[in-house]
């Protein structure tokens, strides 16, 4: 099951500079574990023991996963997951 994952600039040190990486998993949690097996350290930048880190936003096909199922949000083949740092607007 291939999921396209978009990585923000500040985390590309973990993906050899790659902007987009592929991963697999039935949930966000599994996807992050899969990514971490090839990009060690990445998972720890995204989650802590309480779940998604405070300033990390993760979107499944542009929808914030915090309003879906959090780390248990289910994924399907062809989905796009975008990781972004929380920034100010206004």
Partner 1 sequence: MRFESLLDSVGGTPLVGLPRLSPSPEVRLWAKLDDRNPTGSVKDRPAFWMIEKAEKDGLLTPGCTILEPTSGNTGISLAMVAKLRGYQMICVMPENTSAERRQLLEMWGARIIFSPAAGGSNEAVRVAKGLAAENPDWVMLYQYGNEANARAHYESTGPELLADLPTITHFVAGLGTTGTLMGVGRYLREQVPEVKIVAAEPRYGELVYGLRNIDEGFIPELYDESVLTTRFSVGSRDALRRTRELLEQEGIFAGISTGGALHAALGMAAKAVKAGERADIAFIVADGGWKYLSTGAYNGTLEEAEARLEGQLWA
| Contact region with partner 1 (CB under 8 A), list: 20-28, 32-40, 48-56, 69-77 | 48-56
Q: Is 43 in the site for partner 1 (CB under 8 A)?
A: no
In contact, 38 and 60? CB cutoff 8 Å: no
Q: Is 54 in the site for partner 1 (CB under 8 A)?
A: yes
Q: Between 25 and 70, name the residue whose CB sits nearer to partner 1.
A: 70
Rounded to a whole number of angstroms, the minimum distance from the CB of residue 8 to partner 1 is 5
In contact, 8 and 38? CB cutoff 8 Å: no
* CA–CA gap between residue 49 and residue 52 (Å, rounded): 8
Angle at alpha carbon of residue 3, lines to 25 and 6, rounded to 5°:
120
Which residues in 57-76 contact partner 1 (CB under 8 A)? 57, 59, 62-64, 66-68
β-pair partners for 27: 74
Site size with partner 1, rule: CB under 8 A = 25
């Amino acid at each position: 099951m291939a999921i396209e994952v978009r990585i923000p600039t500040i985390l590309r040190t973990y993906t050899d500079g790659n902007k987009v990486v592929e991963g697999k998993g039935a949930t966000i949690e599994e996807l992050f574990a899969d990514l971490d097996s090839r990009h060690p350290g990445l998972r720890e930048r995204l989650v802590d023991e309480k779940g998604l880190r405070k300033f990390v936003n993760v979107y499944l096909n542009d929808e914030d996963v915090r309003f879906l199922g959090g780390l248990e949000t289910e994924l399907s083949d062809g989905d796009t997951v975008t990781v972004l740092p929380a920034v100010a607007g206004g």
